[in-house]
Amino acid sequence: MSHFFEQLMDNPLAVRDNTYDQGYQLAAEQLQRFHLHWAGKRFAELRPRISVLDKLAREQGIDAITDIEQVGHLLFAHSVYKSYPMSYLERNRFDMLTKWLAKLTSTDLSHIDANGIETIDDWLDLLDAQTPLMVLHTSGTTGKLSFLPRTKAQSRDMGIIAANILRDWNGPFSRPDMLSHHRPLINPGYRYGAGTAQRMAGVQVELYAGGDDNALFLYPNQRLSADLISLAGRLRTAEARGEQGRLEISPGLLRRRDELIEMEKQRPQAIANFLETARTRFAGQDVYIGTLYGMVYDWAVEGLAKGHSNIFGPDSFLSCGGGTKGRVFPDDWRETIQTFLGFSTFSETYAMTESMGMATLCEQGHYHLAPFTVPFLLDPRSGAQLPRVDGTSGRFAFLDLLPDNYWAGMVTGDAVTMGGFQQPCGCGRQGYYVHKDVRRYSDMEGGDDKVLCSGAPEAHDKALAFLTETLTR
């Protein structure tokens, strides 16, 4: 029995305090014991404090976790974290929204007075200021956002773990340690907001860059507004029903209208200035870039056309989530990016707001799940658990063992094929993995039940356009 395994059995946060590669060296029996042990502890700790989990457990007749398959009967649909009435947002009933959130977390919210709050952004700021929480929101096609009660400490742990993954991916300290040696951070997005990308950007500024003086954002002083994300979803629904004129816009959002409209007008020039500043300000330095492949590829093509290449230091990192997002690139697109940036360390991850674990892509084309992620495959129609057999395809679900203040057992909308149950990946890493071809059931069936986190900026832009074109008439 390894010392690392003993530490995991004592506390799953041992993954944060050790070299991350050890998580991919656990024997199958060790991983199974770890998962069952901590699934049982989390259930026992949280069931008395979270009523919806207790209700689900009573319905399923489960009093204790003695078999990992029992967890599969206790997984929440993603709709649980947006199960409040829409009227709470439409009528500014943030006092009631606070009471709703309190039922999904063991964190005490009884002292929060949200009377008089007019916007989602202000409500999130209130929780930031007066609780240990750093609530995350997702995007929703109807404007009904999911709110996940993650804590500030958990978000910081995510930032540390992400840095350790990059550092230890090819072995302990096989790459630079950003936590010990800060570097410039480049992010073509919003500095503030409560979406996952913005929350993590704030953590990364502290942990990776050592502060805002060493970071560059497209919008360094703006936030990705939760109110605008909600408005974008409601706008989509209203358009489908021909009811755009019936939308009610909160007074708080109306007061921000001129600022938002001006920001939209300046966007093309802001992007050009951002890219040029990143190139000149940090030339030759080892940097951390967090973005989507599409943005960095377009930047590379334009930069190479102007004669720019090998811009940054060879020990830089490029971190991207979710592949190419449907774009079709030339066969040499990676080489184009590498030639322009000057480094080849690209880290591609499969991640979601609801999970603290990021699955990193290996050279075999597999996303390796974090050791604290307990995976399940469900029949997409019946929801029944599918056999834990290599090559099985189904709806992805999981239990994240790290959160200790909310139940992190979730059913996703992702269609995946899994491996690692019987045989390890050809890259040599042990544990469970997801094949690269991840799809959404909603896309496959012609619907759209949820906007992915990566779609949030586009939704934000659409809402800004609505404010510009409609509210100024």
Residues with Cβ within 8 Å of 332's Cβ and at least 6 positions away in sequence, in order, are none
CB–CB of 149/101 below 8 Å?
yes
CB contact at 8 A, 31 and 5: no
pLDDT of res. 295 = 86
Phi-psi region for residue 449, left (φ > 0), alpha (ψ -120 to 50) or beta?
Answer: alpha
Structure confidence by residue, pLDDT tens digits, 169-204? 999 999 999 999 999 999 998 999 999 999 999 999
**Residue 460's pLDDT band (boundaries 50, 70, 90)?**
very low
pLDDT in tens, 197-251: 999 999 999 999 999 999 999 999 988 889 888 887 777 766 666 655 566 666 7
Once rounded to an integer, what is the mean pLDDT over residues 371-395?
A: 96
Say if residues 414 and 357 touch (Cβ distance below 8 Å): no
Name the average pLDDT for the chain.
Answer: 89
Weakest mean pLDDT among 140-144, 194-198, 387-391, 452-456: 452-456
Strand 317-321 vs strand 288-290: parallel, antiparallel, or unpaired?
Answer: parallel
Model pLDDT, residue 391: 98
pLDDT digit string (tens) for 312-339? 999 999 998 766 666 888 999 999 999 9
Domain ranges for the chain: 1-74+369-435, 152-352+453-469
For 454, residues 6+ apart whose C-beta sits below 8 A from its C-beta are 197, 292, 321, 322, 325
Convert the pLDDT of each residue in 99-116 to its tens digit.
999 999 999 999 999 999
- What angle, 0 to 180 degrees and rounded to 10, lies between the N-to-C axes of helices 333-341 and 293-305? 70
Q: What are the pLDDT digits (tens) for 40-74?
A: 999 999 999 999 999 999 999 999 999 999 999 99
Complete DSSP assignment for 427-442: TS--S-EEES--EEHH
Length of the chain equals 473
> Percent of the chain, pLDDT > 70?
88
Nearest to 215 by CA among 247, 248, 190, 194: 190
Taking each helix axis from N to C end, the angle separating 267-281 and 293-305, rounded to the nearest 10 degrees, works out to 70
The residue type found at 132 is P
At residue 147, the 3 state secondary structure works out as strand
Q: Per the structure block, which two tokens stand in for 280?
A: 């000149």
What per-residue string of b and e applies to 339-370 under the rule 16 or more CB within 10 Å gives b? bbbbbebbbbbbbbbbbbbbbbbbeeebbbbb
Closest CA to 79 of 447, 412, 457: 412
Q: Is the separation of the CB atoms in 201 and 290 below 8 Å?
A: yes
Residue 60, helix vs strand vs coil: helix
Element (H, E) at 152: helix 152-168
Residue type, 246: R
Contact 118, 175 (CB under 8 A): no
Give the CB-side neighbour count of residue 169, counting CA atoms within 13 A.
Answer: 23
- Rounded to two decimals, the pTM is 0.90
pLDDT at 453 over 50: no
Site of tokens 């570097």: 183
The CA-CA-CA angle for residues 160, 164, 168, to 5°, reads 175
Radius of gyration over every alpha carbon of the chain, rounded to an integer in angstroms: 22
- pLDDT tens-place string over residues 82-92: 999 988 988 89
pLDDT at 358 over 50: yes
The whole-number pLDDT of residue 169 equals 97
Whole-angstrom CA distances from 150 to 132, 463, 468 are: 9, 27, 34
Residue 471 has what pLDDT?
Answer: 39
Helices (H), 242-362: 251-255, 257-265, 267-281, 293-305, 333-341
DSSP 3-state assignment of 368?
Answer: strand
| pLDDT (0 to 100) of residue 470 | 44
What is the average per-residue pLDDT within 407-420? 96
Among 317, 318, 414, 316, CA closest to 369: 414
**Which residue shows structure tokens 């690139």?**
329
Q: Which two tokens stand for residue 253?
A: 């959002």
Integer Cα distance of 64 and 67 in angstroms: 9
> What is the model's pLDDT at position 457?
44
**What is the pLDDT averaged over residues 23-28?**
96
- Gap between the Cα atoms of 136 and 33, Å rounded: 31
